[in-house]
Structure 1
Amino acid sequence: MTDGGEAEAVEALQRLGLSKYEAAVFVALERLGTGTARDVDRMTDVPRSQVYGAAENLEERGLVEVQQSSPIQYRAVPLAEARETLAERFEREQDRAFEYLEEVRRGADHEDEHQEGVWTVHGRDNVASRVRQIVADAEETVLYASGPELLDEGIAAALRERAEATDVWVCSARVDDPELVEAFADSAVTLAPFPDDPTDDAAGRLLAVDGDTVLLSVLGGEELPGVRAETAIWSADTGIATVLLELLRGHIVDDTEIEL
């Protein structure tokens, strides 16, 4: 039988491409050092008849070594080697999958990449990922506004990088905040005042790009202890995006040098 930690390891190895039996046998051999099918059978829920096949598959994957003795002895390769083997395999499978998906996407008829509508993104990590992608695709202008808790290093880095080729403004009610100033020191990012504090109540973040794309988020209850949940809506090349951008222009652009 397996304990909680071992069960989690088996599940993690399955997510890396091993079957349930292969993962269980590999973990058992790591604990044993060297063992026979009988030894593995005693330590796991894997039937002895299945241990042989799983061990052979692991050998083919480069994760187990076999000694042709009587009885046959199995030994897991060193962990560093196993980690590298699984990482390379995962990368190959990832490349294979996305190469196919790119071919499929190129072959599909996407007349309008930005369909009319508003898209919803749930979860702070997912919202941050969408923000970074939209910023990375910017061609002319980027305006970003949020409280300090939502301006992580990943987004700050994306804004700094994009500022090398486009106009990037980061708006805040506290443009002289030392952390904000430090985050964009020695970069082409322009800090601009925001008339309202975006951290008040449920307000989250705001992103406007190239005069045709806008993202707005709100904060809710706790997603994790001390971390508020976030939900965003975003739209591009739509009537809704146009209306939101016009409201934004009237709210913060008129009295600044920002051009959206």
Structure 2
Amino acid sequence: MKEYEARCFVGLSRLNTGTAKQLSELTEVPRTRVYDAVRVLESQGLVEIQHSNPQQFRAVPLDEATETLRDQYEDRVERLHDALDTVDIVEEDDESPVQQVWSMVGRTAIENRTNDLIENASEEVVLVVGDELLLTDDLVTTLNGIGNGVELVIGALTPSLEDQIQTAVPSATTFISGLEWIHGKDTAENDTAIGRLVLIDRSVFLVSSIMPESKEEQAIFGEGFGNGLVVIARRLMAQGLVTAHDPGQ
């Protein structure tokens, strides 16, 4: 919704019914703009109008409004997917593998990328969880859906978090990570903390950090690293894992 539409909808949700004058006074939306906003809301199935003098407006019940908004959102996402799915990909002449690093911002986008990487693993997933808030239901579902031929190794920073992981993902090999610098007892509250480290098939990695004040998650994602960088990253991530259980051995 645009701002005036959102204000009017919230305003009407607080009233049984209301006129344009009442709604304008409650929401601080100019009276002339109230009519425009209400017409848009009516077209979306969120507001009903009684054509009396003066006109009376009311919002549909919250459950009904939520369902309507959800249907509209899912329909737009589906249409967006279908449209993008038909876009032609420009093929590059140079097909040689390129080592690349990209940055990402936003917990939802980073979690979606993490889940996608895990789902497409063919040999090994090494994951270190730096914050228990990142052990979401979606991530747990993705981890439990890994195929039988994929080795799953998960590190935690604390015994309590390891217990949570063992309970949530019983098929995983878990360990207490030796990466105290992620968010150990000596880490200051205003320091940036590592959120998650992911290494897939020793060739694709993702590492994220959590900003101390905003709690925003930022990440870098790289692929095509069949070299020493991945070897070093993997050994660092697996600190604390018993060598005999190390899939890399």
Which of 119, 137, 146 is the equivalent residue of 1:162?
Answer: 146
Q: TM-score normalised to the size of structure 1?
A: 0.69
- Give the secondary structure class of the aligned counterpart of 1:34: coil
User: How many percent identity over aligned positions?
Assistant: 31
Output the aligned Cα RMSD.
Answer: 3.7
1:211 counterpart = 2:226: no
C-alpha distance in structure 1 between counterparts of 2:166 and 2:198, whole Å: 19
**Other-structure match for 1:222:** 212
1:94 counterpart = 2:77: yes
Q: TM-score normalised to the size of structure 2?
A: 0.72
Aligned partner of 2:17: which letter? T
1:82 counterpart = 2:65: yes
The answer to whether the 8 A contact 1:150-1:204 is kept is no
Deviates more, 1:161-170 or 1:57-66: 161-170
1:54 counterpart = 2:32: no
Q: Unaligned regions of 5+ residues in structure 2, if any? A: 188-192
User: Structure 1 residues 254, 236: CA separation in 2 closer, same or farther (over 3 Å shift)?
Assistant: farther
Deviates more, 1:169-178 or 1:201-210: 169-178
Query: What do the CA deviations read for 1:102-146 (whole angstroms, capped 9, x no partner)?
Result: 322xx121547x853212345666544433232122122212234
Shift of 1:81: 1.4
C-alpha distance in structure 1 between counterparts of 2:180 and 2:206, whole Å: 17
- Give the secondary structure class of the aligned counterpart of 2:28: coil
Aligned partner of 2:247: which letter? I
The answer to whether the 8 A contact 1:214-1:244 is kept is no
Shift of 1:170: 2.1
- The higher relative CO (CA closer than 8 Å, separation ≥ 6) is in 2
Shift of 1:148: 6.1
1:258 counterpart = 2:247: yes
Higher helix share: 1
1:243 counterpart = 2:232: no
Aligned partner of 2:230: which letter? L
Aligned partner of 1:27: which letter? V
C-alpha distance in structure 2 between counterparts of 1:59 and 1:150, whole Å: 39
**Other-structure match for 1:234:** 221
Q: Unaligned regions of 5+ residues in structure 1, if any? A: 1-13
**Other-structure match for 1:8:** none
**Other-structure match for 1:108:** 89
User: Structure 1 residues 51, 231: CA separation in 2 closer, same or farther (over 3 Å shift)?
Assistant: closer
C-alpha distance in structure 2 between counterparts of 1:168 and 1:194, whole Å: 15
